[in-house]
Structure formats: structure tokens, C-alpha cells
Amino acid sequence: MNKMDDYKWLMLAKLIERYGSIKDSLLMLEKMYPKTKRIKEINQKLAKGDLLKDILKNDRFEKQLSFYIQYIDIMQAIRINYQKNRQNEKLMKNLVEKLAYQIILLISSIALLVLFTEIVLPNMMISLDLTNQKTDSIIVTFKIINLTKDMVLLVLLALSVLSIYIKVFRKEAHIWLLFHKIGKDRIIKMIATYYLVNDLTVFLENGLSLHQSLDILRFNRNNRLTALLAHHFNEALLKGSDFEASLDIEYFDDEFHSICLYGLKDNDFISAIKDYKQISDFKFEQFIKKMSVIFQAVCYIFVAVIIVLAYQVLLMPLEMLQEF
């Protein structure tokens, strides 16, 4: 795909900051990176009179940039978009690093389960049927394991289909509202608040006001959870609620409300949301550790059961020989 690397956009922001004109900055950028065809294309379309927001449709970075420049200047938009991309990459990297072992363990366990129940188990069943041994308990156990395998695979398939549906059709906010109605959205609140805090930190540090930031984020299609939370936060402020009362809306994580109240006393909202982010990172790590212990224990127990049963079956010929 003919695209412009993120760091080149950041260079454009620096040129605009220095020279003021976006057209002059783009022409200068074209001279700096003559092999990047996308810069030349943008310059040509601008020369024809096309609007920049209509030109920026080439990739995800450009589409998000096109959205931002409807509210803020191009220089701020580039920097915010660049920082958010780096932030999201870092979050994803940390998440993968923390879950990599568990994912590998899950895949290995499922592979072992399928191998045992689809290949090893049928052969064992045939062998047991050909003998007159009293193996009813082992056969029943095998059937339970096979049923468990089918249920696990079915649940994983259902979760995968549901995740794809939510992602493709952007139903995150609908799912949240559904869980919110039944009062089971505590984890979703934490996730949405965490992402909103990350976004607000970037926006506020780049000189935007809270109202500007919320007004942009509530229309953000890339993260519907953040958009829904920003919408209710902004709506509370527009209705005349003071800042402290607006933090008490039902969609916020309770801990965020408490931490921000201390931030208001110190008149430092940015520091307060950074504190919440650090606490959330710590809580998330603890949650991952607890889930890892539980998940590993289940996987190891399952493997142990398979080993014990296989060992019992392998000992059956010796028992037959002893009886003979």
C-alpha cells in the first residue's frame, strides 16, 4: 500500500510548527523524502483544491487524522495521533507479553486434548472393547473427557464468533449497555475508564481543554467504549453539573472518581488521572497473575488426568498377563 510512515507525519508537524504553512511544509517534506509517493499525491490533490480531510483516507493513521483535523489544527492532530498510536502499541505489547505463556499453554492443552480424544482415545476404546476386562469406569472417564473437549472447543468457537461480530459491527457500546442494565459491567467500566484516561492524558498534555477533548472523543469510532463514556461525561458537564458531580456518573469506575477528587483538591487533574492509570496497571497485573495461576492449575490437572488414565491403560496388558 502507498502510505506515509508515522514518523514522517511527525516530521511534518515539526515543519508546520517551524514554518506555519502546511503546503510549504508538505513541499519541503517531499524534497526530504522523494521516494515517498504519498507525499507527492497529497501535494497534487491540495493543488487541485481538494480538502485535506477528504484526501486523508489512505490508511488507518490518515483516517484518524482526518477525523481529528475537523476539531483541531493539523499540527496538534498529528502529534496526538502519533502519541496515541505509540501508546496503543505499547499497551498491546505489554498485554501480549503478559498473556503469551497462557496463550501458548492454552493452545498446547487444546492440541493435546484433541490428539488424545481423536486419535489415542478411539484406538484405546477399540482395544478395550476387544478384551473382556472390567474397564467401564475408564471408558466412562474417557467419554467425560471427550465431552469436556467438545464443550471447551464449542465455548471457544462461540467466544471467537462473538468477538469477531462485536469488532466487525462495532457493537462494543451495545454490549456495555446490555451488561450495565443487569449491573454486571464492573470490568467493562474499568476498561473503558482506563482507555479514556489514556486518551485524556494525551489530549490534555497537547494543550487541549477538557471540553475539547471530550467533544472529540465522544465521536471517536475507533473505541466505542471510550466514546460512550466521554459522551456521558461531556453531557453531565453541559447540563450544568460541576466537575466533581460529573465525575460521579454511573459509567465511571468507582476508583477513578475517588482518585480524581483528590486531584481536584490539588488542582492537578492530569496528575490524578496518571495516578489512576498507574493503579490500574498494577491491578491489571495482579488480575493477570491470579488468572494465570487458576488457568495453569486447570491445564496441569487436565494433563495429569490424561497421563494417569493413559498409564492405567498401558498397565492393562500386564494385568492380563498376570491373570493368565
Task: For residue range 139-182, list pLDDT tens digits in order.
Answer: 777 777 778 778 878 988 998 999 999 888 888 888 988 898 89
Q: Are residues 237 and 184 in the same domain?
A: yes
Single residue among 26, 42, 70 that ends a domain in this structure: 70
Q: Indicate the SS3 state at residue 226.
A: helix
98, with CB counted inside 10 A (0-12, 13-18, 19+), is middle
Give the residues of the chain that fall short of pLDDT 70.
Answer: 1-2, 121, 124-125, 127-138, 263-267, 313-324
Residue 55 lies in a domain: yes
Single residue among 70, 100, 118 that ends a domain in this structure: 70
Closest CA to 52 of 6, 61, 60, 43: 43
Instruction: Report angle CA 259, 260, 261 to the nearest 5 degrees.
Output: 90
Reading the block at residue 196, the C-alpha cell is: 479514556
213 vs 231: CA distance, rounded Å: 11
Q: Indicate the SS3 state at residue 60.
A: helix
Residue 229 lies in a domain: yes
Q: Are residues 92 and 172 in the same domain?
A: yes
| pLDDT for 207 | 92
CB count in 10 Å sphere of residue 281: 13
Q: Indicate the SS3 state at residue 4.
A: coil
Q: Are residues 160 and 255 in the same domain?
A: yes
Q: Are residues 282 and 244 in the same domain?
A: yes
Residue 77 lies in a domain: no
Count the helices and strands in the chain (H runs, E runs).
Answer: 15, 0
Closest CA to 111 of 286, 249, 306, 260: 306
Residue 75 lies in a domain: no
| pLDDT for 136 | 66
Q: Are residues 164 and 22 in the same domain?
A: no
Q: Are residues 121 and 214 in the same domain?
A: yes
Q: Are residues 161 and 299 in the same domain?
A: yes
Q: Are residues 26 and 158 in the same domain?
A: no
Residue 215 lies in a domain: yes
- Domain total of the chain: 2
59 vs 68: CA distance, rounded Å: 14
109 vs 156: CA distance, rounded Å: 13
Single residue among 49, 70, 91 that ends a domain in this structure: 70
Residue 295 lies in a domain: yes
Q: Are residues 39 and 144 in the same domain?
A: no
| pLDDT for 266 | 64
Instruction: Report angle CA 155, 156, 162 to the nearest 5 degrees.
Output: 90
Range of the domain at 45: 6-70
Q: Are residues 148 and 30 in the same domain?
A: no
| pLDDT for 324 | 44
Residue 44 lies in a domain: yes
Are 203 and 80 spatial neighbours (Cβ–Cβ below 8 Å)? yes
Residue 221 lies in a domain: yes
| pLDDT for 296 | 80
Q: Are residues 179 and 255 in the same domain?
A: yes
Q: Are residues 87 and 27 in the same domain?
A: no
74 vs 93: CA distance, rounded Å: 28
pTM for the model stands at 0.82
Answer positive or negative: Cα dihedral of 200, 203, 206, 210: negative
Are 263 and 200 spatial neighbours (Cβ–Cβ below 8 Å)? no
